[in-house]
Amino acid sequence: MLAGSFDILKEFSIFWENYISYKIGKEVVVRLDPEHKKAAEEAIKYMQKHLDQDITTVELATHVGYSTYHFIRIFKEITGVTPRHYLSALRIESGKQILLDSSASNLKTLLAIGFRSMGSFSSRFKQLVGLSPKGFRLESEALVNYVNQYKHKEIVAPVDVSNQSPCIHCHMQVPSSFKGLIFVGLFPRPIPDQRPVAGTALHHTKRIHSFANVPPGQYYVLAAGIPWSLNPKNYFVYDKALRGKSEPVTVQEDSILEVNVELREPLPYDPPILVNLPLLLFEKDNDEAN
């Protein structure tokens, strides 16, 4: 009886998230209310403390003192994604951290972050990170070495496409103290949890990149700065990485757009960066070589 009631509650939460997500997607958020930010941050802290449990949106709304309807609306206004989407991203980010500790078993990993079966964990992890959990662990050292080669050599610049439309010219604003690689890409949502529609990596001395022949649609330009580090985890777990996001841009067949993205310190409500940036760089280089 209790199990059946929980399933109904979970389905109700999912229904509300999908409905509010649809409604908010048609509106423009002008500013972020401080009380709304506080509520979103409290909900995120609750998620982080209870990753190993089944958490519903109703439970989160109750925790921060809002109705389910208003909580979903507020949360998406602040973070750009629904609570359920954010919770899933937190679990995968935590899984990456645990997997990089070679002493952790896959079973320990999935139980610690709220998954109940190896199959669902592995498929979700591969979908968002680009490698299976086992592959992620095994390939991490090679990918770190691959990225580190660019400490001492330039990334090959692509052919100039600045006059080819549709085109997005990205201008990066980066702190002068930053030393490392800047990853920038076009994403359909304001969370980097999939391969970008287009993406590249720039040495920290480069601040401009143009994406040409972009498929028509709406995109966010998302960027992350990965500093040179002696700790391999910093190349795969980006909770402390500089990041930046543009407002959504709409690309049409003849569009030539200028977008400015400022890299800043992470905010408490920023969605996790799940994509495997070293893997994307490796794949980009291979594609261009072929």
To 10 degrees, the CA torsion angle through 86, 92, 96, 98?
100
Those residues with Cβ within 8 angstroms of residue 55's Cβ, 6 or more apart along the chain or in another chain: 46, 47, 87, 114
Encoding tokens for residue 39?
């509520």
Helix (H, G, I), strand (E, B) or coil at 134: helix
Taking the C-alpha atoms of residue 115 and residue 274, their distance in angstroms, rounded to an integer, is 17
User: Which residue bears the tokens 């979103």?
Assistant: 40
Tens of pLDDT, residue by residue over 172-228, are 999 999 999 999 999 999 999 889 999 999 999 999 999 999 999 999 999 999 999
Model pLDDT, residue 29: 40
Domains of the chain: 1-129 (1.10.10.60), 147-289 (2.60.40.1120)
Please tell me the pTM assigned to this model: 0.84
Tens of pLDDT, residue by residue over 239-270, are 999 999 999 999 999 999 999 999 999 999 99
The mean pLDDT value for 270-287 works out to 94
Strand duo 217-227 + 242-245: pairing: antiparallel
- The strand pairing partners of 219, in sequence order, are 249
Tens of pLDDT, residue by residue over 136-182, are 999 999 999 999 999 988 887 665 566 678 999 999 999 999 999 99
Element (H, E) at 147: helix 133-148
Residue 2 has pLDDT above 90, yes or no: no
Strand duo 180-187 + 249-251: pairing: unpaired
Element (H, E) at 201: strand 198-203
Encoding tokens for residue 207?
């601040």
